[in-house]
Structure 1
Amino acid sequence: MRIRHLLLAASAATLAIAPIQAQEITVPDYPETRDDGTSETIFGQTIADPYRWLEDDVRVNPAVAQWVEDQNEVTDAILASLPLRDTFKQRITELTDYERFGLPEEKNGRYFYTRNDGLQNQSVLYVREGLNGEARLLIDPNEWSEDDATALAGYAITEDGSKLAYAIQDGGSDWRTVKVLDVATGETMSDTVEWVKFSAIDWAKDGSGFFYSRFPATGEGETFQALNTNHTVYFHRLGTDQSEDVQVFARPDMPELNNIAQVSEDGRYLVVTSSSGTEARYEVALVDLSQPNVDPRVLVPGFEHDYSYFGNVGDTFYFTTNDGAPRNRVVSLDISQVDPQPVEIIPEQAETLEGVSLVGGKLVASYLKDAKSQIRTYSLDGEPLREVALPGIGSAGGFGGDVDDSETFYYFSSYNRPTTIYRYDLDSGESDVWAAPEVAFNPDDFVVEQKFYTSKDGTRVPMFLVRSREVAESGEAVPTLLYGYGGFDISLTPGFSPSRIAWMEQGGAYAVANIRGGGEYGKAWHDAGRRSNKQNVFDDFIAAGEYLIEQGITPEDGLSIQGGSNGGLLVGAVTNQRPDLFAAGNAAVGVMDMLRFDRFTAGRYWVDDYGYPDREEDFAILRAYSPYHNVRDGVDYPAVLVTTADTDDRVVPGHSFKYTAALQAADLGDKPQVIRIETRAGHGSGKPTDKAIEEAADILAFLGHYSGLDQAQ
């Protein structure tokens, strides 16, 4: 369990549009943002925070709500005048309008999966009786709210396939409400569980109820900003009120822990994985469900390493771990032993091990080789069996199921290929297409390449580069959109996006830099981009931009950048450090105040990557790159479009609000620095299709105008 990781064919050449005449975009005056004079002395430094009042929840403080309205009015005026806005909206809509499927999950002969007919705002859950049976609708979230901003955020199925517990996400919030569906009748049962967050949902094997994790209820006005502590595992018995739920696991001595529960393969144990932050340092405990009055047994103590449980056969429990293996390996623990010691099953490889499934009596291991997927199967004792043949450079995942299954399902996607679902026969090793999309472009008209470049300190960094075949063969320098993340051990692997295709159809290039801080090369790559090494992340990204210009891929005034969440921080930091390098940037839902990030909702978890603002050594590092605190008055900046949502309770929107106010208060030249604030959209998950299309069109039109894409055709 990787806790931290809690989208009619035609040739692209036929879609070129006539050149658009250059036009000057008039930037309205920015709204005046009140400077309340707030400052404080931290470790002997006076830190100005004049816009702290913008941290208040927009639903609570009318002044913040008015500021949001005023800012959106200015931004909307600019966006409405952009030449490519309507073109992008129309084309992204066409490219999004294709049938999409989620991975099927089989229980007792029933196959459950999500499907979107193309432009549905939320995907719909279906079930089939048998693999090729007729599809029957179970849950349609599009009926839950008028604005379609209420989403199905996950589900869990009983072993007999008769009941389904499903999570509801409203307005993009991280909070979940769990309800139960009778699969045969399609009726929603009376069971309702609230205050669920950062939780797995797993049924007892007999279907009597399910395990989940929750935080205590918050006080009035605190739901979307208060720190989350005292994460506790409960058991909900089917047909009872939540007030009767039984506490199964809690750590009141360590209220900062997250505690995630899984039922073991044989149903006897509850495997609880505890963590204190985002770093993969876990403690694993076993709750013996056959002996309810026995205290949990700590199986893996110490919060020193990643031990991620993925299945067991009897007393042999299987884990992926970085213990003694920075790129991860597979070990087993014999829980019948008093002090079980890890036995190596699959040793560390040259490639990074991303995850393993125990299905059909085999181990299916997913590896990353230079950020591209490789899938290998092994026997339970680690003997190599075969490699799963994949169509090319891309990402593959899935491979779920039970230890006695004969089949499993996986997906494959790439920058030029939407997700295709495959059924994999575990005995023969053969893959068959289960669901393939029909899309409004020709994937072969686009070329996916991998490049390597050198960062400031000599580190070799990979980069994916995607262009139309025509642009790639011409060797022409074209406006390029560079994307990055660089944090939390998260790897950027190839995936499909209609908006990226639309960008390239207009003549642009798209690049993804696999910078340090991610997980592409295991623990060492992550460590090289966090805490005191965070500047490496920014250096890697800046070097990527320099490489694209030096190699003639993009002109000097044609480079746009984009990143979200930790990637929003990335965009803010490199814009301050090298404003001359970039023509335009989109900082999405970013962490922009590095001195106060740990005071809101999930922010306290991020100290593993960023450090502690209240520790002097960490404070000095954070102060040096915090986007909010390092805006350079009197320097020409690129055009900046900040994007966030008023209901984001992961990275609270106050980060983006304060950062935008600081940009607008400074003299940064002639280009605009504005903010687009979505309503009821949260951090990104659960966003309705129509809102996602509108936002993508706005962003690409903005970046495209200020990087010269308007003139690319």
Structure 2
Amino acid sequence: MMYTFPAFSLFLLKYFLGVIKKNEKQYTKSEIMTKNTLFIIIILTTLFTTQAQEDSYLWLEDVDSEKSLAFVNKQNKITEDKLSSIPEYQGIYEKSLEIFNSTDGIVYPSTYGEFVYNFWKDENHVRGIWRRSPKSKYLEGNPTWETLFDLDEMSKTDGVKWVYNGSNGLYPDYNRFIIYLSKGGSDASIKREFDVKTKTFIDDGFYVPESKGGVSYVDKNTLIISSDFGENTLTTSGYPRQVKLWKRGTLLKDATLLYEGEVDDIGVSGYVLRDNEMEYKCVVRYVSRTDISYIILVENQQIKLDIPSDTYPENLINNQLILRLQSDWNVNNKIYKQGSLISLNFTELLKGKKQVQLIIQPDELSSIEGVSKTKNKLLVNLLHNVNSELFIYSYVNNKWIGKKVNAPDFGRISITDLSLSSDEYFFTYSNFLTPTTLYIANAKTNTISPFKSLTPYFDSDKYKVNQFMSTSKDGTQIPYFVVSSKDMKTDGSNPTLLYAYGGFEISQRPFYSATFGTSWLDNGGVFVLANIRGGGEFGPKWHQAGLKEKRQNVFDDFYSVAEDLITKKITSPKHLGIMGGSNGGLLVGVAFTQRPDLYNAVVCQAPLLDMQRYNKLLAGASWIDEYGNPDIPEEWAYIKKYSPYHNLKKNVAYPEVFFYTSTRDDRVHPAHARKMAAKMIDMGYPVYYYENIEGGHGGSSTNKQSAKANAMRFSYLLMKLK
């Protein structure tokens, strides 16, 4: 009789339990003790051996170990050598770099006071410069840029590959900023105080060591801050669980504790909520993504807002707190529907009273995509059948009155900049074939004017866009867009790229991408964007239909689109590829393990793949509301059915997958991609694997890195699908 080691342990266990009897002899006390000791040893041996057998790639979770990086460097070289030899590679790389480095691109504004600020990268500023121009000059179309700091020079001086992660200014004069800088693009960053008048970092100014978290000015000499304050100050998700008030001239460790969450929370944050002259210090405690507390600090008193725990406060304007409801809410015997946008009188809410006004209740085909405010007006970005519409709302005589902005239809609208001191704002419009245009607008007069458009790098007149519906397994209709040449033949031979995300209530909207156009469309490709469940295209219900035990709906939606493309003979499995990143990386990882028959190429970027350990890696614990908790047997029962890492099988005709991740990704651990690739390689499957040594969750830190990633992705797709 032959046994594997765990099976042999089980055999011995049964033997000592008396299930298998060699004879009927009576045991002495000493023999019984020996028998019990062996019994315990066998149990432990079985458990540990089984665990080791289940995951023999744990060593790849050690991000910077010599052994892990040796694996990475080996696979990087193999993949780069293969993909860079594809005929289209060099042309795609050069064209992508030209686009990324173009000095004719849109200079997006960030308005603070009388200046427009901008972070800019090109071939001469690889890591970028932070600069500003008087707003008046910018609006004239003739900005006079003043460089404030140069990250290339800083990186060279400091010996660190700095990446700009944003800034936070001192209201209302904005003569000082807290600058966020990360090493290699990670989410964790240091925060340094910067004086824009002297164009220097302040030597004795506020400085926060590398950590996740954030800071906001309360006044010139005070910050409200969440950070890693030392031992036991982070949650299991790696985010701060303390908010403090930090006075200039004192040590960070001596900052005054304002609020402390629990270690199993996602995290806490603090900021200043402003409504014209009124200011409120606010703490947000994220117990989970559906259990959120908003605490207002008033005269040393903590007032927890009596609003639904799954509700997202959007803004405070004219003493009206704006809420977007994730579920029905019964207030004063009136039900406000899930997905609605409402407001409450804020000062009355602080007293425990609810005075509610309905702003808008989207219909079945609509959802609230975003809410912004100018000095006096509320801007609401509404999605209707996955196309944007922009509205301006005014609060007059205790009522909200809305007017539609006369922006272009059938595309994507995004608010890009606004100011708390005026009703001017900027937004962009684009669709798959229309280059992004920046508009300057005024919410008070409801006027708009085109300000700057992207250079059209490909001839959009050759292409067309269609929106179709597929039918998912449970009968749900799933919309998707197809971008193709006008003379596309429906003979199943078109190289087609299907992209989707399907999670965290994030909507996938039409977008213009010069690099997709030149790299894919101009090389004969068809592009498909699927609006599967898990996203926010049709409100909270669309998202909630893909949560936890309902996750298979997301994957079934994706398959229905793929099958519909094949049925329509737009493509065929031989010519169909899929792409997704982060949660979308999980999506395509599940897709090729559950339905390998549908695809011939898979681009799996910054993915989650080991769903048994995802909650133990970096920020993974913060996503339990989305996927479920694998440590709970009942929840692991449905997670394990789709976890890509655990559903790999031998002798299956999987497509040759291209995994792409970053060593410096401190959100989704690179071990997901590493372990999956290593396991597939050891099972005899050919894969492509590339791990950028920097870049963070976005994958790239410089334009050259972005161009290289683009060239590898599309060269791989063209090689597999043409």
What TM-score bracket applies, with the shorter chain setting the length?
0.7 to 0.9
Q: What SS does the aligned partner of 2:515 have?
A: helix
The corresponding residue for 1:705 is: 719
| TM-score, length basis structure 2 | 0.84
TM-score of the superposition, structure 1-length normalised? 0.85
Residue 243 of structure 1 deviates from its aligned partner by 4.0
Q: Deviations over 1:390-445 (max 9, x none)?
A: 33432222265455513111122333344322111122211122332224333444
1:211-256: CA deviation from partner (whole Å, max 9, x where unpaired): 332134479xx99x97415422233445655345433332247654
Matches within 5 A, 1:259-278: 259-265=269-275, 266-277=277-288
Cα pair distance change 1:216/1:200, threshold 3 Å: closer
Query: Mean Cα displacement is larger for which, 327-336 or 363-372?
Result: 327-336
Separation of aligned partners in 2, 1:212 and 1:240? 14
Q: After TM superposition, give the deviation of residue 113 of structure 1 in Å.
A: 2.9
Equivalent position of 2:646 in the other structure: 629
Taking the aligned partners of 1:116 and 1:253, their CA distance within structure 2 comes to 39
Stretches of 4+ aligned residues off by more than 6 angstroms:
44-47
Which whole-Å deviations, capped at 9, do the CAs of 1:477-536 have from their partners, x for residues lacking one? Answer: 410111111111111112233331121000101111111111111111111112001111
Distance in 2 (alpha carbons) for counterparts of 1:444 and 1:638: 34
Equivalent in the alignment of 1:371: 386
Distance change in 2, residues 1:183/1:634 (3 Å): same
How far off is 1:540 after superposition?
0.9
Aligned position for 2:177: 164
Range moving further from structure 2, 399-408 or 174-183 = 399-408
Decide whether aligned partners of structure 1 residues 163 and 347 sit closer, same or farther in structure 2, where only a CA change above 3 A counts: same
SS at match of 1:233: strand
Partners of 1:302 and 1:427 in 2: CA distance: 32
Distance 1:121 1:267, change over 3 A: farther
Are 2:502 and 2:532, in contact at CA under 8 Å, matched by a contact in 1? yes
Task: Supply the distance in 2 between the matched residues of 1:638 and 1:88 (Cα, whole angstroms).
Answer: 23
CA distance in 2, matches of 1:414, 1:238: 47
Say which of 80, 83, 106 aligns to 1:79. Answer: 83
Cα offset, 1:348, TM superposition: 1.4
Q: Secondary structure at 1:169's aligned position in 2? A: strand
Give the count of matched residue pairs: 653
Q: Which amino acid aligns with 2:224?
A: F
Find 1:249's aligned residue among 232, 253, 259.
259
C-alpha change, 1:197 and 1:318, in structure 2 (3 Å) is farther
Q: Distance in 1 between matches of 2:593 and 2:86?
A: 25
Q: Distance in 2 between matches of 1:677 and 1:517?
A: 28
Mapping 1:208-357, distance limit 5 Å: 208-217=221-230, 227-238=237-248, 241-252=251-262, 255-265=265-275, 266-277=277-288, 279-288=289-298, 291=299, 294-300=300-306, 303=309, 305-314=310-319, 316-324=320-328, 325-336=337-348, 338-341=351-354, 343-350=356-363, 351-357=366-372
- Mean CA deviation greater in 112-121 or 571-580: 112-121
Q: Match of 2:200?
A: 187
Percent sequence identity is 26
Secondary structure of the residue aligned to 1:268 is strand
Residue 498 of structure 1 is matched in structure 2 by 514
Larger Rg: 2
Check conservation: 1:150, 1:686, Cα contact below 8 A.
no
Structure 1 residue 202 and structure 2 residue 216: aligned? yes
- Equivalent AA in structure 2 for residue 679 of structure 1: I
- Cα pair distance change 1:519/1:296, threshold 3 Å: same
Contact 1:196 1:213 survives alignment (8 Å): no
1:55 maps to which of 51, 61, 67: 61
The one of 437, 450, 453 equivalent to 1:420 is 437
Change (3 A) 1:242 1:287: same
Contact in 1 for aligned 2:664/2:693 (Cα 8 Å):
yes
Amino acid at match of 2:720: Y
The superposition leaves residues 575-628 of structure 1 with CA deviations (integer Å, 9 ceiling, x where unpaired) of: 011111101101111111100111122110010111011111111111111111
SS at match of 2:698: coil
Q: How many Å separate the matches in 2 of 1:55 and 1:78?
A: 26
Aligned positions of 1:226-625 closer than 5 A: 227-238=237-248, 241-252=251-262, 255-265=265-275, 266-277=277-288, 279-288=289-298, 291=299, 294-300=300-306, 303=309, 305-314=310-319, 316-324=320-328, 325-336=337-348, 338-341=351-354, 343-350=356-363, 351-380=366-395, 381-398=398-415, 400-402=417-419, 405-471=422-488, 477-501=493-517, 502-625=519-642
Q: 1: CA distance between counterparts of 2:346 and 2:510?
A: 37
Higher relative contact order (CA 8 A, sep 6+): 1
Where do 5+ consecutive residues of structure 2 fail to align? Answer: 1-43, 139-143, 329-336
Whether the 8 Å contact between 1:645 and 1:677 is mirrored in structure 2 is yes
Native 8 Å contact 2:160 2:183 kept in 1: no
The one-letter amino acid of 1:674's match is: Y
Gaps in structure 1 of 5+ consecutive residues: 1-37, 709-713
Question: Which one has a larger percent helix, Structure 1 or Structure 2?
Answer: 2
- Tell me the distance in 2 between the aligned counterparts of 1:76 and 1:340: 62
Matches of 2:520 and 2:244, distance apart in 1: 47
Whole-Å Cα distance in 2 between the matches of residues 102 and 685 of structure 1?
A: 23
- Change in Cα spacing, 1:126 to 1:449, as seen in structure 2 (3 Å) is farther
Aligned-pair distance for 1:323?
Answer: 4.3
Q: Secondary structure, in 3 states, of the residue corresponding to 1:496?
A: coil
Amino acid at match of 2:464: V
**Mapped contact 1:318–1:333 kept (Cα < 8 A):** no
Cα gap change, 1:256/1:376 in structure 2, threshold over 3 Å: closer, same or farther? closer
